[in-house]
Amino acid sequence: MPSSDTQTLTDIDQLTIDTIRTLSMDAVEAAKSGHPGTPMALAPVAYTVWKDFLRYNPADSNWPNRDRFVLSCGHASMLLYSLIHLAGIKQGQPNSETNRLPAVTLDDIKKFRQLDSVCAGHPEHHLAVGVETTTGPLGQGCANSVGMAVASRWLGAKYNRPNNTLFDFDTYVVCSDGDLMEGVSSEAASLAGHLELSNLCWVYDDNKITIEGETDLAFSEDVGRRFEGFGWRIEYVEDANDTSALIRALQSFKEEEKKPTLIVVKSIIGFGAPSKAGSHSSHGAPLGQEEIQGAKKSYGWPTDEAFHVPSGVAEHFQNAISQRGEKAAASWRESYQSLASAEPDAAKEIECMLSGELPKGWEDAIPEFPTDTKGLASRVSSGKVLQSLSGSIPWFLGGSADLAPSTMTLIPDAGDFGPQNLQGRNFHFGIREHAMAAACNGMALCGLRPYAATFFVFFDYLKPSLRLSALGELGVIYVLTHDSIGLGEDGPTHQPIEHLASARAVPGLNVFRPADANEVAEAYKSSLKNSKRPAVMVLSRQNLPTLDRNNLGSANGVAKGGYILKEATNGKPECILIGTGSEIPLCLDAAQTLESHDIQTRVVSLPCWELFDEQDSDYREHVLPSKVSARVACEAASGFGWEKWLGNTGKFIGMNGFGASGPAKQLFQHFGITTEAIVTAARDLTGK
The helix or strand, by DSSP H or E, that contains position 677, with its residue range, turns out to be helix 675-686
First to last CA, the chain: 82
Contact 132, 445 (CB under 8 A): yes
Amino acid at 11: D
Q: Would you give the DSSP letter of residue 102? A: B
433, 583, 610, 635: which one is catalytic?
A: 433
Closest CA to 269 of 215, 213, 209, 218: 209
Count Cβ atoms within 10 A of the Cβ of residue 436 and give its class: 0-12 exposed, 13-18 middle, 19 or more buried: buried
Nearby residues of 624 by Cβ (< 8 Å), 6 or more positions away = 562, 576, 578, 604, 631, 645
Beta bridge partners of 174: 71, 203
Beta-carbon contacts of 331 under 8 Å, excluding residues fewer than 6 positions away, are none
* Strands 651-655, 631-638: pairing kind: parallel
* C-alpha to C-alpha distance for 549 and 371, rounded to whole angstroms: 8
As a whole number of angstroms, the distance between CA 132 and CA 117 comes to 17
Q: Which own/partner contact pairs does 664-673 have at CB distance under 8 Å and 24+ positions apart?
A: 664/485, 664/486, 664/487, 664/488, 664/541, 664/542, 667/485, 667/486, 667/488, 668/485, 668/486, 668/636, 671/485, 671/636, 673/485, 673/583, 673/586, 673/634, 673/636
Report the alpha-carbon distance of residue 117 to residue 131 in Å, rounded: 14
Confirm if 59 and 40 have CB atoms less than 8 A apart: no
Q: Which residue type is seen at 626?
A: S
Whether residue 433 lies in the annotated active site? yes
Q: Which residues contact 358 (CB under 8 A, 6 or more apart)?
A: 352, 393, 528, 529
Q: Which amino acid is at 227?
A: F
How far apart CA 588 and CA 582 sit, in angstroms, is: 11
> CA separation (Å) from 280 to 80, 91, 207, 227, 270?
21, 35, 10, 26, 9
Residue numbers annotated as active site: 433
